[in-house]
Amino acid sequence: MFKHLFIPLDGSRLAEAALPPAAWLAQTLGASLTLIHVIERAAPVEVHGERHLTNPEEAAAYLDEVAARAFPPGVRVLRHVHTDEVGNVARSLFEHSDELRPDLIVMCAHGTGGLRRWAFGSIAQQVIALGTTPVLLIHPGKDSAQKPFACRQLLAPLDGSPEHEQGLCFAAGLAKPCGAAVHLLAVVPTPGTLSGPHAASGRLLPGATAAVLDMAEAGMEDYLNRCVADLRSQGLTLTAEVARGDPAKSIIRAAEQHGADIIILSTHRKAGLDAFWAGSVAPRVARRTHTPLLLVPLSAE
């Protein structure tokens, strides 16, 4: 599944929240890692309240220290400092991932509240939009760099469409070597949680809308049962449920109830106007949960 992990670091303790998951996955999956630091043009003196690495020699020494400190001896750790100053860190990371060809990027969403909101938007989401490499997004908490990590429970939301089953493939591929259980979740809206044109239809035709949603719930139950049967035949441990309500809230609630170590979400690189799943769910979940998110980019619309 994942044999080469790519970890962007800026020198801050917040960014180092990505290290424990990366170390655990590398050791469990037998993967190598590349630590990368990008020298920014007109870089600030501080980042996240800490001294910013703007000198190539200092950055190289920092990556050497992290490699020795954060990873067990059996893990192969490469280090790379991009010395040409760049104005767009996300594009530089994309270009290096395209060159170095990792199969997973592990990175941190910095800060809380409005700041946390779009370190994800400005860096991680841009990396996803530019490329096709999955991104494991880590939300730092207090002392998160020292927090142990293990992947024993995966949450895989599905919407019944074949393209979003890519997330299911990643869930199965991770669960086997990690010895993790997988909880499948489908979410069917209630009339009160419909949005856009569907909400208007619900108000005009409440009885018909309720009946359609009930049929959708029955269809999702059949769909999840088929997914469970297929994955259990591969020796995986699975549970499944259909929830009713707001998709993002239902995903976060299920992650908390089942103790998910990772939520796996398929997300469009460029969401069309009708991209119900990609247009709102992944960013809303990212803003509201501290559970790591494995974001699997789909083909551009």
> In whole angstroms, what is the distance from residue 23 CA to residue 10 CA?
18
* Among the four given CATH numbers 3.10.20.600, 3.40.50.620, 3.30.830.10, 3.10.580.10, the one describing domain 153-298: 3.40.50.620
Give the global pTM: 0.85
Asked whether the domain spanning 153-298 has the same topology as the one spanning 4-146, the reply is: yes
- Amino acid at residue number 118: W
List 153's β-bridge partners, or say none: 181
The pLDDT, as a whole number, for residue 101 is 84
Tally of CB atoms within 10 A around 263: 27
Residues of the chain falling short of pLDDT 50: 111-121, 143-145, 270-279, 300-301
Q: Which residues contact 81 (CB under 8 A, 6 or more apart)?
A: 36, 37, 39, 56, 59, 60, 63
- Contact between 8 and 34 under an 8 Å Cβ cutoff? The reply is no
- Match 């409005």 to its residue by tokens: 114
Given a contact cutoff of 8 angstroms between Cβ atoms, the answer to whether 6 and 136 are in contact is no
- Ordered by start, the domain boundaries in the chain are 4-146, 153-298
Dihedral sign for Cα atoms in the order 281, 287, 293, 299: positive
**4-146: CATH number:** 3.40.50.620
- Give the alpha-carbon dihedral of 147, 148, 150, 155, to 10 degrees: -10
Half-sphere exposure of 77 (CA within 13 A, CB side): 25
Task: Note the residue count of the chain.
Answer: 301
- Look up residue 194 and give its DSSP letter: -
CA distance 267 to 166: 10
| Predicted pLDDT at 115 | 36
DSSP conformation class of 160? S
